[in-house]
Amino acid sequence: MKIRKRTSSFRICLALCAVLLCVNVSVCAAVDRLLVKGTSLVNEQGDTVVLKGVSLGWHNWWPRFYNSSAVKELKEQWHCTLLRAAMGVEPEGAYLTNRQKALECMTTVVDAAIENDMYVIVDWHSHGLRTEEAKVFFREMASRYKGVPNVIYEVFNEPVKDSWKKVKKYAEEVIGCIRTVDSEALILVGTPHWDQDIHLAADNPIQNVSNIMYTLHFYAASHKEWLRERADYALKKGLPVFVSECAGMEANGNGEIDMKEWNLWLSWMKKHAVSWAAWSIADKDETCSMLYPSAPDAGWADKDIKEWGHVVKHTLLAK
């Protein structure tokens, strides 16, 4: 990935433009705009781009990690090129019941990612259709970050019970709201059953909309060759795939880390130039949370990082 030299005015621009949600953030960014070409993600020069990084946990349960110091550390110490800000929608204290807190957490992380020359996913972290609320949210986000190439919009985290027909209709409406503001932003579309029915989207993709990709989620101990076969099918049909959430243990977030399957997935993503974000920067007592409860909000020593966190960090640091 080619990174342009930061302009001297960038930090000043960001500071002046990011004061209020209703004010646009500066577009003097130091990263390339991302484009979907075939099944691949490319930069403005046409070079293939593979983004790698981590997802923060639900903001409503782990807001303490939604801070600029943590973002900077994930860039400098973990070599993340991608962050995913998982804004909870339905649970108590999430977007629907505490909108201001949700927006504060989201914009703090997105602004910090822009400042640190990272790509960042604005993730509507929901399991059910909330069409009108999502349209309001994404219209606001697109207005704030219009023209900023760092920002990626994930319009539906993990559809659970909704059919592809319903999810597709929802996505078309939300994408329409974003496109009325920003005609070029990269948009990620969820697929049914926790983002595993990607083959259904491949058979009936969204039409007449450019620069979109479809999300696949896997937990390696549960999702093995059968899901890679589905993904292979989708790619052969020409569907652009983006792994916006993945991990090495069972789908419930617990159990042993299956290193064999994790490495098979890493090889598969490398082979197909698929971008990915590992779950998650959180301190819950579960295998997939990367930090211990005693960990500070940022500035993590090795003792603060759990086994899965070390696996992910090692993967990101590897050449």
Name the catalytic one among 76, 172, 184, 245: 245
pLDDT of residue 177: 97
Q: Is 245 a catalytic residue?
A: yes
The pLDDT, as a whole number, for residue 265 is 98
40 domain residue, yes or no: yes
187 in a structural domain = yes
Q: Which pLDDT belongs to residue 43?
A: 96
| Amino acid at site 233 | Y
Q: What CATH number does residue 72 fall under?
A: 3.20.20.80
Residue 1 lies in a domain: no
Per-residue model confidence (pLDDT) at position 68: 98
Domain assignment present for residue 7? The answer is no
Q: Which of 217, 219, 218, 213 is nearest to 235 (CA)?
A: 213
Written as tens digits, the pLDDT of the chain (319 aa) is 333 333 433 343 334 334 445 556 655 568 999 999 999 999 999 999 999 999 999 999 999 999 999 999 999 999 999 999 999 999 999 999 999 999 999 999 999 999 999 999 999 999 999 999 999 999 999 999 999 999 999 999 999 999 999 999 999 999 999 999 999 999 999 999 999 999 999 999 999 999 999 999 999 999 999 999 999 999 999 999 999 999 999 999 999 999 999 999 999 999 999 999 999 999 999 999 999 999 999 999 999 999 999 999 999 999 6
Domain of residue 41, residue span: 35-317
> Contact, 22 vs 144, CB < 8 A?
yes
SS3 per residue for the chain: CCCCCCCCCHHHHHHHHCCCCCCCCCCCCCCCCCEEECCEEECCCCCECCCEEEEECCCCCCHHHCCHHHHHHHHHCCCCCEEEEEEECCCCCCCCCCHHHHHHHHHHHHHHHHHCCCEEEEEEECCCCCHHHHHHHHHHHHHHCCCCCCEEEECCCCCCCCCHHHHHHHHHHHHHHHHCCCCCCEEEECCHHHHCCHHHHHHCCCCCCCCEEEEEEEECCCCCHHHHHHHHHHHHCCCCEEEEEEECCCCCCCCCCCHHHHHHHHHHHHHCCCCEEEEEECCCCCCCCCECCCCCCCCCCHHHECHHHHHHHHHHHCC
At 3 the pLDDT is: 34
| 15 domain residue, yes or no | no
The structural domain count of the chain equals 1
- 42: in domain: yes
In a domain, 305, yes or no: yes
Q: Considering the entire predicted model, what is its pTM?
A: 0.92
* Choice among 115, 154, 158, 250 that is catalytic: 158
Catalytic site includes residue 76: no
Residue 30 pLDDT: 85
Looking at the domain assignment, is residue 20 inside a domain? no
